[in-house]
Structure 1
Amino acid sequence: MFKKPSLMLRITVAKIFGLVVGIGWAIMLTAMPQAGIFDLLGYLLWWVTLGAMVGAFGVIDWLPVLNRRFTWWLRGPWIAGWLGLVAVMLAYGDMAALLQSYFQGFHLFNSPWWFVAACALFGLVCDLIATIAAGDGKETVQML
């Protein structure tokens, strides 16, 4: 999209995508009876921060241990899924109560572990958009 790869542009694009997803997530949470204002604001800030992390990790495009390229379709879901896993492990009880209040009769989506899959999907799309808009790898941090 732009001629010169840039890390700041990459992070900005990823944060804007995270803001859009966060606003959508907050709108969805308004339908849940137990969701308070801190839940709405917390999830909004979560998606923006997750976008920033996915954007910042776009610099890493090589895995020296495996001697392989770390492509966007692996890097984005990996970092976002990992951070989603950490979030679920830290707030499992609150997430479970929130989901059980919304999906009362339908038990497939009652599990907070679906949040990890949602984060991984977010990372895939976010890293794709950031890579198209601002590139990836060491070119994003070179000054000249």
Structure 2
Amino acid sequence: MSQKLAIGKLAILLASLSEEELAGFRPALQEVKYCQGKVGSMNMQKVISAVETAAKRNELIQDHLYRETHSLYHAILEGIEGVTRGKPAIGEMSRTVGLRFAIVRGRPYNEPQEGEWIAVAFYGTIGAPVKGAEHETVGLGINHI
């Protein structure tokens, strides 16, 4: 099984690059469904909800199908672990995040039986809730649907 489409790489690029910087990747984006968004909070549930809402509004998942919602949830949690360096907590630890996120759904393998996968990428800042006390962070989660 060779990989034909790097949905994780596309998600990271969508979350972190400007519209100008993304111009060269437009052909690859035609092969996937995707959306982008922003969230800033000290509340982890708000971060999760922002991504779930974007995925549903942009029809990347069908919320009446448990496997799709479940797959998205696990991709979100995996991405958050990257953002928070393995400790999925923000407000409880007096940290805040300001994140751009991207969700990409596609078929990363040549074999049709491998099905669709979903990637969630975060890029932004994390730190103490004091302006200027934050640093860059990134996280990526990928799960099969």
TM-score scaled to structure 2, two decimals? 0.32
Q: Counting strand residues as a fraction of each chain, which structure ranks higher?
A: 2
Larger radius of gyration: 1
Q: Counting helix residues as a fraction of each chain, which structure ranks higher?
A: 1
Q: Which has the higher contact order (CA 8 A, sep 6+)?
A: 1
